[in-house]
Amino acid sequence: MKTLEAKIRDHSAVVGVIGLGYVGLPLAVEFAEEGFKVIGFDISKEKCKLISAGKSDILDVSSERVKAQIKIKNFVATGDFTKMKQVDCVAICVPTPLSKTKDPDVTYILSAVNEAKNHLHKDMLVVLESTTYPGTTEELIRPLLEEKGFTVGTDLYLAFSPERIDPGNEKYGTKNTPRIVGGCTPKCCKMAKLFYEQVINHAEAVSSTQAAEMVKLLENTFRSVNIALVNEVALMCDRLKIDVWEIIDAASTKPFGFMPFYPGPGLGGHCIPIDPHYLAWKLKSLNYYSRFIELAGDINSHMPEYVVDRVTRALNARGAALRGAKVVVLGVAYKRDISDVRESPALDVMKLLDNQGAKISYCDPYVPVVHFDDGDKKSVKLTAGLLQSADIVVVLTDHTNFNYQWIADNSQLIFDTRNACKRVRNGKKKIIRL
């Protein structure tokens, strides 16, 4: 009988991916394209049905790629976890949200691990990719797997390898973004590294699962803190009557010791607004208060309120009130050229504007509908008439397929939170930048 190592090397290992979202689907397709048989597991019947029909709901993975692997039966999507018995290597790619009190919610991880646990067999690899706090793999997952009588490092292998997906990034995807791998034992690490090396150009081993978990949190805390810094600089520049975008561009001419970050209406996405809180929560359990993380979170979370204040001031300067004003929002995704609205600050801005009595409509070519507690709101067609009738147009996401010159030509007033209108001609009187 072949060992797991031999199966991975000759691509006869059956790969399981739990969670077929922004992380899991690209990974599943990469393994399928390398000749592995891949079983994708998801609790959403609609998602499994969509993938089984050869369609993708992830912009970074084309339907053509999915269809090709479904057709040759290298990839199947199912909600039947009994098929886990066939799997040799499983990657867990499920969401890790925060609770309302900003505590880690590992419900999805535990659910996925319990499903896998019921179908464990010897010489099997289990890898957690979901972002979480240091200690999760060793303290929560290992005991669950060993309840079945297996010994991690001998009978089966357990590791953590943080996902590094950047939705919409055309340069770096699953294959060419280096992987960090940490195992519960050296043999676990070796097996997980070998596993990822079959589809990813480079995998870097670290000393433990805790180290691998911390790497991901450092990466996103770094971004959160620096974005908070530049957001605060934007607030300072507003008080000083200085153009923050000019300051950043000028500072960026320095070839060393400076890395540009850019202000905006707040933080969005599943990682940067959430991951630092996982670290802060863990540190509180060790009686350590993470001041940088807490301060950065406070600054970034209040940016939507600042945006609404600036919109109010812009209207007041023209003798208009926010209440009853027609506001057209451009872009609601958390970043340009994607459809992801998770934690998008645009949604917070829209709620605040609505609470102030503004009449809001939005246009986003990637997001046809957004769901609010009081009902859904649909994207409207961007027309000259819509822009001309608006008291103010607010750019919250700088999608590249918006024609900003045309938008400016047809708008009375624009508040641009992304510097999207920087190349617009003759817009000084009508364009206000963050």
124 closest CA partner among 92, 95, 162: 92
- 217 is written with which tokens? 């949190």
- Residues 6 or more apart whose CB falls under 8 angstroms from that of 323 comprise 356, 357, 358
Question: For residue 299, which phi and psi values (nearest 5 degrees)?
Answer: -65, -50
Look at the chain and count its residues: 434
Query: Measured in whole angstroms, how far is the alpha carbon of residue 27 from the centre of its chain?
Result: 15
20 closest CA partner among 2, 45, 1, 37: 45
Contact 224, 300 (CB under 8 A): yes
Contact 345, 379 (CB under 8 A): no
List the catalytic residue out of 93, 188, 189, 271: 271
| DSSP letters for 368-391 | SEEEETTEEEE-----HHHHHH-S
Measured CA to CA, the distance from residue 231 to residue 197 in angstroms comes to: 39
| SS3 assignment, position 338 | coil
271 belongs to the catalytic site: yes
Contact 232, 299 (CB under 8 A): yes
213, β-bridge pairs: none
- 118 is written with which tokens? 């019921």
According to the 3-state scheme, what is the secondary structure of 91-147?
EECCCCCECCCCCECCHHHHHHHHHHHCCCCCCEEEEECCCCCCCHHHHHHHHHHHC
| Angstrom distances, CA of residue 290 to CA of 15, 100, 231, 283 | 39, 19, 19, 7
Q: What is the DSSP letter of 243?
A: -
Residue type present at position 8: I
Contact 38, 78 (CB under 8 A): no
- Residues 6 or more apart whose CB falls under 8 angstroms from that of 275 comprise 131, 216, 217, 220, 221, 224
Residue type present at position 315: L
- Residue 161: Cβ-neighbour burial (10 angstroms; 0-12, 13-18, 19+): buried
Per DSSP, which regions of 111-177 are E strands?
124-128, 156-160
Measured CA to CA, the distance from residue 238 to residue 434 in angstroms comes to: 8
Give catalytic residue positions.
271
